[in-house]
Structure 1
Amino acid sequence: MLKNYLTITFRTLLRYRTYSLLNILGLAVGLACGILIFLVVEFQLSFDTHHSKADRIYRIVTKLTHENTTYSRGTPKALADVLRRDYPLIETAARIKRVRGCVLSIPAANGGFLKKFQEDRTVGFADPQLFNVFDFQWRIGNPQTSLSKPNSAVLTDKYARKYFGEANPIGRTLRLDNQLNLTVTGILKDHPTTTNLSDEVYISYSTVPSLSEQVAQSFQNWENLDSEEMTYVTLPEGTPAQRLEAIFPAIIRKQYTAESAKIYQYHAQPLSDVHFNSDYGGRIQLKLLYAMGFVGLFLVLAACINFINMATAHALRRSKEVGVRKAMGSTRGQLFWQFMSETALITLAAVALALGAAQASLPLVSKAMAVFNATFSLTALLEPKSLLLFLLLIGFVIGLAGFYPSLILSGFNPIAALRRKMTTDQVGGISVRRGLVVVQFFITQLFVISVLVIMAQLRYVRTMNLGFTRETVLTIPMPSADPVKQETLRNRLLQISAIQNVAFGSAPPASQSINETTFTYDNRAEPEKFETKTKVGDMRYVPLFDLKLLAGRNFLTNDTNTHELIVNEMMVKRLGLKSPGDILGKRINVWEASHTVVGVVNDFHVNSLRKGVTPLVLFKNFSENRMAALKISPKNLPETLRQVEATWNGLFPEQVFHYQFMDEILDRFYTAETIMLGFAQVFSLIAILIGCLGLYGLISFMAESKLKEIGVRKVLGASVWQILWLFGREFGRLILLGFLVAAPVGWWLMSAWLQDYTYRIQIEWWVFGVTILLAAFITLATVSFQSIKAALMNPVKSLRSE
């Protein structure tokens, strides 16, 4: 029986090649998208799940409650020591402090250096206990002692080869920022890509106090929070997180004043939440992964609907075959499983094609997810859990796509089938097929609405006036805190004809490097109930970025000892002052120094448009100048960059030159949205393709089933346009019904997505107008050939059998 099923299935598929090809292609495209989305979602959900203690590892995070609540993944430097020393409940506690933008060099015997490397987000100071919290695979070294002494460093395999080639790195010296020698004491195997502990160089945390006197003193400052300074703990098995949470109030009461204790709260964040919680620096939101999962299901569903429509439409051609089989004694059950076997064979062929298409697409997906260092492989589907889900998906597709058509085909009346008296209403019901087509139109139009809204929001955030100039502004590092060297660099850069201005500061007006602190205003004894953002900039900072002075003046000199300060409009408003001029001459104590307010500038955005403008102070401090901003002419840009690099290298030969344009810095704010838009655009095109395949099959069926009707109409005088209207009216109604469902659902979903942005577009009528026009155009382009062919056919051919 099985052999007979397969033989007939192969013959049927070969006989109806076009039908088979359309079905296989439609299912393959939907399944390929489902596979790719599964790989992306599975990759994101597997972050840090490989650690043996993952279910009892927590990161301590800080919640600060002022007038507004803010969140920080940073904790005081001394917290881990207190937890290890005073609380036996804690099995292990470890600190890690990530370092931004440092230079590691290989010293030469003559006092110079053999190589130098600019490292960003790959270097961290870590306690040796970190290796007890997380599972690191060691190639060389002892996890208990490799970071126990100051000036020790542990490298990953990849970075050991990067620095020292194939030579033995143990005992070799690395120099940090040309001021601190480190000895390599251990080598780790390379991290898996699915981890947020992606540092490649770990330096012993006991080295931190020797960096500077200011850093050493910060160990006693419990209000000094750095978002890159994190504390992880491991609890004994069976210990609930509530017991850990219960010890935090006692620590806060002991280490903070009564007033500060009202502000600071510590919380235990599960390791499983670290990758997804945007409040504490999570890299991707869970709701985005859920949305991608639903997209994958929608695409597979659209492919199945396409199959069902074409199978039921194709059923009229096979009505005589069913009649003969029933007349010869075939039961309905036998026929049902015959048609189900055909569906299974088509599905398996589609799976094979989908796997090939997915494999070919993996480099593009990996490139799109490069920000996560992602590398995808279909071998991930062979993991037991993944393989089970994949087999269930295949079974689901076979059942969903095959059950209804098989039920309809096996239920034909043999007499009516043999006399060819079957009608479209008897073959599955025209209303059912209409409903399925409406679902396809709904999915397609929902995708189109989503893409249009995301594109509009991204265009809005990228073109919105942020309150400062970003065009043709180049930023380069300022590696020296020496004011003489800084002025020397400025003077030499200004000798380059294409450079119009040079300013120094801690960071550009908007960047991912943002400091926030408490402050006191005027003669008030207590700190204000809200915090302020801080920026460091010299007297050229305001004019270079074209910040508008609303009251007062700019800095007159770069002398740090004048203790002058500029605030933004929001600071004036939050202090309850009536006009910008009211704050001039007042004192603001920030960073443990008192400053006089000399100017007020317009509000400008310091981070992405997800957040609103907050109070900000700008003051001078040459020791905090980490960046040089250059206003340059766009003409002959390569030659300008060459001259800038040569000038910079002449002053800082031991450092590594790199640069960024302001537009590049701002684009980093919207990396997730850019990835989301790319996926949405691709999947929208695929949804449209699947819908077009289904429409092509349906219009072919409709044209064939209406041949005699069209012939009669033409004989009675109907024009070509009247015949075309038969098809246009049918699909027009279906498009409209799909739109009536897609429009409110799309508006609701995208309105919820836009809520993440303080500054956002309004979803306007043109989004829905473009959507329905595009759906109509796609439908017209798909069905026009078969419709016109049917309308122009000679009626004699269709009526000849009467």
Structure 2
Amino acid sequence: MLKNYLKIAFRNLLRDRSFSILNLLGLAIGLASVIMILGYVRYELSYDKSYSNHTRLYRLLQENPPGSVDELTPIVSVHMAEVLKKEFPAIEACSTSGKTEVEFKYKGNIVSFTAIDGDPDLLKMFNYEFVKGDAASALKDPGSLVLTESLAAKYFPGQDPMGQVITDKDKKKRHVTGVIKDIPANTHLSGEAVVSQDWKDTEAFHVNGGSANVQYVLLNKNADPKKLDAQFSTVYKKYNFPPGTGVRLQPVTDIHLRSHYFGEQPGNSDIKYIYIFSSIALLILCIACINYVNLTTARSMHRAREIGLRKVLGALRKQLIAQFLTESFLFFAVSTLLAVVIAYALWPTFSARITGYSTTIPLFDSGSIILLLVLLVIGGLVAGAYPAFFLSSLQPVKVLKGIAKFGLNISLRKGLVVVQFVISGVLIIGTLVVTRQLNYIRNADLGFKKDNLLEIRVGNQLPKMKAFKEQLLLNKDVLSTSVSSWVIGHTYGGYKKVQDPSDTTKQIRTSSVEVEYDFLKTTDIRLVAGRFFSPAYGLDKISPDSAWRVSKDMPDEEEDLYRSGMPMVVNQAAVKLLGLKGDVIGQVITTKHRGTIVGVIDDFNGMSMHDKIEPVFLYSWPDLAQGALFVKISSKNTHQTIAYIRSQWKKFYPDYKLDLKFADDKLQELYTADVRLGSLFTIFSSLAIVIACLGLFGLISLTVQNRVKEIGIRKVLGASVASITALISADLLKLVLLSFIISSPIAWYFMDKWLQDFAYRINIEWWIFAVACAVTILIAFVTLSFRSIKAAMANPVDSLRSE
């Protein structure tokens, strides 16, 4: 019986090739989209699950008093994990970690790799797989270095890497003591090597005092993390935790998608994007299935007589249902195979464009194959159920006489088209909103000129910086240079917390920025009042570091007086924060930022527009040589100017890698996830409208078939092609318009929620909905016109011959 069902199903597929290809493509493209989106979602959800201990691995979070800007932070007081391990047997192991950029000379070039700071306990906790050496001894000695397989093959091809020595830019020798399998890319603690670090001999444990770093613990197999979290408070008094300060556990599997705390390393994604992507996948699947149902039932008129004849010849309803479900499963199976081919072909481009990963992530694993089979079964049942039950219910007498009614069929199909266009409308409006917000970010006035501004990262206090800058200025296309502790999108240099004057229970994060005299000239930040730092003023020549050295041994009153006389320049946000009135020049600040205001600058946004502009306090630091060197260049001869800068860097700093980027490129990096979302909306809103129009084409085909005699009579009575086209299309265009009335508030709600993540955002204006509606109606009209004009131009004799 099944063989017969399959044979008939294949015959029906081949009988109407144009219909089959149209239906097959719509379903396959929809399924391919779902496969690719779910591939990305699956990969994001797999972060930090490659470790066999991942269910027992936790990172410590430090809780600070409510209202603090760092109320929760992964930057924990040094030795915190060791203290907790000592007090609580439920903690099996602990380790402190971070990341180090190792730079060294290789074959005459400066190269670098990212290394994880660690110790033997870290190797045990994250159970890296050793190819050479072992976890117990690999990081025991200072200067030990464990390489990944790919890094070892890159720098020691054809050699045994064990015992090899890498001398970094600081002349520190690092001995290779082990080789491990490559660390998976889907981990928050990624790197190409692990270097030994020993924190045991550093300062004693003191909460909120001294150093702080990222720390991990491995719990015993029977430990309950919730109970352990609650028990931590029992030792707070013993170790002098300040009021409101504590510690809690965070699963490492939560870090990538659910961790955006103060002090977090860049690179984390957000669980909300997983929800958005998953929702889009579900919507695309709905549109594809609705499209299949619409086109299948549109074709039902052609098979009505076949069904009636089968029933007359004794076919049971359950046999007809089985036949149509078999056709549905066969169609879905072929569509799924085609979808897999399409997904494989497009995956490298999709992976790079949407995920932003430098390497192509795996599209399938055993779990995704099972999910694909589940989609096949559910899709085949859901999409095939209505056509199967509807067509099998037709009465043979009415069908064979040609008087069968398809009213319910048409009403349901109209409802499905509305659903399709509601989904399409939400995606199209979302695309316009995301695109407009990204354009707003791209063109917003940030308070400084990002065009033709270069940023060179300067790690430690580099020697010869003054001579290097003087050499750069010898080039006529280098207009100005200045070093600052501000690194675009990363840090202003230092942070201090100041009480919020409007709410004494909260603290506001303020930034301390050390700058040179030419900072404003280089960045074009506007001076609003007073003056900027200048060598003409004696105190401007004293750096904050020098001031601290001079004043640290003074009595408290003398130190306060001395440091309060140090000049500072503030931005307008700082003036507002401090509640200063009238002329602020010369006013003495005695909060955590101590000094005398000599100038006020315009607010400038050196971070993301997701966040509000911070109050900034600028201090003079002549000959600063760490943070970022800003170079303002001419718009002419850009390539030659950059080549000149590179050559001078190589001359002055042959052992240091040059990290040079344009300011606008650095700013765009802050919105990578938002750009990906915009790309996703653009791609899939276009796809949704195409698939929805295929469904619309199916509905117009059914309408024409049901009204073929009516159209013939109207033509005989003198109706024009235009009037018949309008008659056929008007009802369906009303459906499209109705769908936009429904989709507009839905789209507004979700896009307004998304925009709330931006401190600086656009307003969702009425014309966005008007444009989206007009574009969709235009596309729908073209789709409808193609079929309705053809019907209106048909010879009425053909349709009325049997009357």
How many Å separate the matches in 2 of 1:519 and 1:697?
63
What's the counterpart of residue 432 of structure 2? 452
Q: Does structure 2 retain, via aligned residues, the 8 Å contact 1:588–1:596?
A: no
Could you say which residue in structure 1 is the equivalent of 2:478? 499
* Aligned amino acid, residue 398 of structure 1: G
- Residue of structure 1 aligned with 2:510, choices 532, 535, 539: 532
3-state SS of 2:670 partner: helix
Q: Deviations over 1:23-76 (max 9, x none)?
A: 211111111111111111100111111222212211112343364543422112
Which residue is equivalent to 2:73?
A: 72
Distance 1:365 1:244 in 2: 43
* 1:117 matched to 2:104: no
Q: Is the 8 A contact 2:134 2:178 kept in 1?
A: yes
SS of aligned partner of 1:423: coil
Shift, 1:244, TM fit = 3.3
Q: In the alignment, residue 254 of structure 2 is paired with which amino acid? A: D
Alignment pair present for 1:201 and 2:186: no
Report if the CA contact (8 A) 1:153-1:183 is conserved.
yes
Query: 1:92 maps to what in 2?
Result: 93
Distance 2:160 2:356 in 1: 31
Shift in CA distance, 331/116, structure 1 to aligned 2, threshold 3 Å: same
Q: State whether structure 2 residue 329 is matched by structure 1 residue 349.
A: no
Q: Equivalent residue of 1:179, what SS?
A: coil
Measure the CA separation in 2 of the matches of 1:83 and 1:580.
52
Once the two structures are superposed, residues 536-566 of structure 1 have per-residue CA deviations (whole angstroms, 9 ceiling, x without a partner) of 2211112211222233321113542465432
Would the aligned equivalents of 1:609 and 1:759 in 2 still touch at CA under 8 Å?
yes
Distance 1:249 1:541 in 2: 47
Q: 1:490 to 1:586 in 2, by over 3 A?
A: same
Residue 29 of structure 1 is matched in structure 2 by: 29
Aligned to 1:784: 785
- Quick check: 2:133–2:179 contact (8 Å CA) kept in 1? yes
Q: Once structures 1 and 2 are overlaid, which stretch shifts more, 724-733 or 39-48? A: 724-733
Deviation at 1:420, TM superposition (A): 1.6
Q: Superposition pairs for residues 748-787 of structure 1, below 5 Å?
A: 748-787=749-788
**2:487 paired with 1:487:** no
Shift of 1:744: 1.0
Distance change (3 Å), C-alpha of 1:766 and 1:580: farther
Per the TM alignment, residue 741 of structure 1 is displaced from its structure 2 partner at its CA by 1.5
Aligned residue in 2 for 1:212: none
Amino acid at match of 2:361: F
Q: Summarize deviations over 1:408-445 as a string: whole Å, max 9, x none.
A: 111111111111222332xx532111101111111111
* 1:192 corresponds to: 184
Q: Deviations over 1:97-142 (max 9, x none)?
A: 223x552335xxxxxx8553134xx223212211121121111112
Tell me how far 1:654 sits from its aligned partner. Answer: 1.2
The one of 152, 161, 176 aligned to 1:169: 161
Q: Report how far residue 217 of structure 1 moved.
A: 6.1
Q: Say whether 1:391 aligns with 2:394.
A: no
Aligned to 1:323: 308
**1:400 corresponding residue in structure 2:** 382
- Aligned residue for 2:654? 653
Describe the superposition over 1:384-418 as per-residue Cα deviations: whole angstroms up to 9, x where unpaired.
x3333221110111111111001111111111111
Does 2:402 align with 1:420? Answer: yes
Unaligned runs of 5+ in 2: 536-540, 548-565
> Does the 8 A contact of 1:61 with 1:75 survive in 2?
yes
> TM-score, length-normalised on structure 1?
0.91
User: Which of 260, 272, 275 is 1:279 aligned to?
Assistant: 260
CA distance in structure 2 between the aligned counterparts of 1:482 and 1:446, rounded to whole angstroms = 53
Distance in 1 of aligned mates of 2:150 and 2:789 = 63
* Structure-to-structure mapping, 1:27-66, within 5 angstroms: 27-65=27-65
* Structure 2 contact 493–627 (Cα < 8 Å) conserved: no
Q: CA deviation at 1:353?
A: 0.6
Q: Is the 8 A contact 1:580 1:600 kept in 2?
A: no
One of 144, 153, 156 as aligned partner of 1:152: 144
Alignment-derived partner of residue 278 in structure 2 = 293
Inter-CA distance 489–221: structure 2 relative to 1 (3 Å threshold):
farther
After TM superposition, the structure 1 = structure 2 runs for residues 173-252 of structure 1, keeping only pairs within 5 Å, are 173-206=165-198, 222-223=208-209, 229-246=213-230, 248-249=232-233
- Counterparts of 2:325 and 2:389, CA distance in 1: 9
Worse-superposed segment, 453-462 or 575-584: 575-584
Distance 1:207 1:174, change over 3 A: farther
The answer as to whether partners of 2:571 and 2:603 remain within 8 angstroms in 1 is: yes
Question: Which blocks of at least 5 consecutive residues in structure 1 are unaligned?
Answer: 107-112, 210-215
- Paired with 2:422 and 2:89, the residues of 1 have a C-alpha distance of 58
CA contact under 8 A between 1:520 and 1:527: conserved in structure 2?
no
Question: What pairs with 1:506-655 in structure 2 (closer than 5 Å)?
Answer: 506-508=485-487, 510-518=488-496, 529-557=507-535, 559-560=542-543, 561=546, 563-579=566-582, 581=584, 584-586=587-589, 595-621=595-621, 622=623, 625-655=626-656
Q: CA contact under 8 A between 2:355 and 2:676: conserved in structure 1?
A: no
8 Å contact kept, 1:74–1:225: no
Cα distance in 1 for partners of 2:599, 2:76 equals 34
1:270 pairs, out of 240, 246, 251, with 251
Supply the distance in 2 between the matched residues of 1:418 and 1:752 (Cα, whole angstroms): 56
Return closer, same or farther for 1:673/1:625 CA change in 2, 3 Å cut-off: same
Q: 1:685 to 1:714 in 2, by over 3 A?
A: same
Match 1:465 to one of 441, 445, 448: 445
Moved more, 3-12 or 394-403: 3-12
Query: What is the CA distance between 1:614 and its match in structure 2?
Result: 2.0
Residues 534 and 616 of structure 1 are in contact (CA less than 8 Å); yes or no, is this contact kept in structure 2? yes
CA-to-aligned-CA distance 1:643-690 (integer Å, 9 cap, x gap): 111111111111122310001110111010111111111111111121
- Equivalent residue number for residue 412 of structure 2: 432
CA positional deviation for 1:237: 1.8
Residue 366 of structure 1: aligned partner? 351
Q: How many residues are aligned here? A: 768
**Which string of whole-angstrom CA distances, capped at 9 and with x for unpartnered residues, describes residues 329-377 of structure 1?**
1111111111111111111110111010001011112212564455334
Secondary structure of 2:77's aligned partner: coil
Q: Displacement, 1:519?
A: 6.3
Cα offset for 1:247? 5.1
Alpha-carbon displacement from aligned partner over 1:128-175 (angstroms, at most 9, x marks no partner): 211121121111112122112211111111222233233222212222
3-state SS of 1:91 partner: strand
Give the stretch that moved more between structures: 243-252 or 467-476: 243-252
3-state SS of paired residue (1:276): helix
Question: Structure 1 residues 415 and 471 mapped into 2: Cα distance closer, same or farther (>3 Å)?
Answer: same
Q: CA RMSD of the aligned region, Å? A: 2.5
